Each structure stands twice: as structure tokens, then as C-alpha cells.
Amino acid sequence: MSDNSPSWTRRSFLEAVGRAGGAAALYETMTAMGLLGVPDVFAGPPQIPPSHGNGKRVVILGAGIAGLTAGYELLKANYEVIILEAKPVAGGRSKTVRYGDVIEQIGHPPQTCKFENNSDFYLNAGPGRLPYHHTAILHYCNVLGVQLEVYTMMTRANFFQRNQSWNGASMVNRQIANDTRGWISELLAKAVNAGDLDNELQVKGVDKDGLLSLLSTFGDIDPCDDYDYLGSSRSGYARTAGTPR
């Protein structure tokens, strides 16, 4: 490194990661560096004895989702709960806007929602969806009877089901994708390794060893296993985290 090379600091490194990969890459990097605490897998609400809060008072700052759920659990344990919220409404960043609602932002004039009155139109001005792995908030939605709508999108967490496959059970998208890649890679690697495609590879100028190495990575297969596809840890947990054994 020359004397004119810039010196790297932890902050400058993280800024570079954020610029290159966005918030998700920055979050994962900070987690790997131990700069962010990773919460434990949600395995159910806290088990507090019903009389634990007898004669005790708790003040919670903020009526967002965390404050409200904490207050809910503490009330069940007979605590006297006071929640302080600076805004005129509860919910924190979770805010549904309907006809006549006023949105106030610092530095901007108030905006009044002008959707058609008595219509079903609404706007989620905060979080737009609940990912499948946010099991804690989904648990409280179920307990409190919060109505949820299906948010249709394609992710590797989607489930597919057809009566003619997987004995009629549902299968997660990521496993279908990884199994498909594994089986295709196994068939192609065996054909390449046996010399069945030598002519085609030579005509196209494809390096045989390089292709086998690529297939090993692409399909998660190992030459030590004779390129047999034996399943892949890329498909996720054998048992979904937080579910009963």
C-alpha cells in the first residue's frame, strides 16, 4: 500500500458496503462484525406468573408495536401499566390512512386524505407487509384478532402444492429451486465426467474441469460423492425456527 492510499476505518468500510450493497448488505455486515445484536428466535410470549406484577407500576415510553405488546403482556401479569406517547395516535410507524385522515410531517404542510368517502380505499403509510418469518408480530395478530390480507409476491419462502407431487404436501419454493439445481447439476456432471459430452465441449471451447467445478457450486454437489445430489443446506431449516418440536 502506498503512502498516498487512504486509511480504512470501520466507519468508512461500512459506508462503502452500504453504498455498494444497500441496507441489507450493511445490516448483514454489521451483524457479522458483532455491531448489532441478533434477537433470539421467537418461541412464544414471555411466561410471566399472573401475580408477578401485584402492586407494581410500569411506565412504557412509546405506543408503537413494541410498547403496546409489552404493555399487553405486563397487564396479563397484573402490572399497572402506563404508556406515554408523544403523538395523538398509537401504533408508531404503523399507520393506516383513510378518508379525512390528516398526515403531518415536520417541515411540510399537513395533508388531508381525499379518498372517496365511505370507500374501501386505504394507504399503509408505515410498514407495507409482514414477512413470514416475523413470527412474533404474526402471533399477536392471531391472538388479538387482527385481520390480515394476503400480500401476493414471489419469494423463496412461498409454498407450492399439487396433489400429484410430494405426496400432496406443500413444498417451500427454496427447496424446489435448490433440488432442481442439484438434480440437473448431478445429471450434467455425471455426463461430463463420463466423457459423454467431450465432443460438444471441445467444439464450444468449454473447459471440462472448469465446468465440473461450476456445477459443484451451482448444484451443491461434491465430486467426493460421485456428484450425487444429496440435498442442500441452502433450502433452510429442517424444522422452521420457533415451531414446536
DSSP string computed for 127-163: -----TT-HHHHHHHHHHT----------TT-EE--T
What lies within 8 Å, CB to CB, of 188 at 6+ separation is: 215
3-state helix, strand, coil in the chain (%, to 5): 40, 10, 55
Q: Residue 1's pLDDT is what? A: 47
Query: If you ran DSSP here, which 8-state letter would residue 196 be given?
Result: T
Q: Residue 244's pLDDT is what? A: 56
Q: Residue 229's pLDDT is what? A: 95
Domains and CATH numbers, the chain: 11-38 (no CATH), 57-144 (3.50.50.60), 171-235 (1.20.1440.240)
Q: Quote the CA–CA distance of 78 and 57 in Å, as a whole number.
A: 9
Q: Which residues of the chain have pLDDT under 50?
A: 1
Q: Residue 31's pLDDT is what? A: 82
218 three-state secondary structure: helix
For residue 83, the cross-strand partners are 60
Query: If you ran DSSP here, which 8-state letter would residue 54 be given?
Result: T
Q: How far is CA 238 from CA 7, 176, 232, in A?
A: 44, 14, 11
Q: Quote the CA–CA distance of 238 and 109 in Å, as a whole number.
A: 52
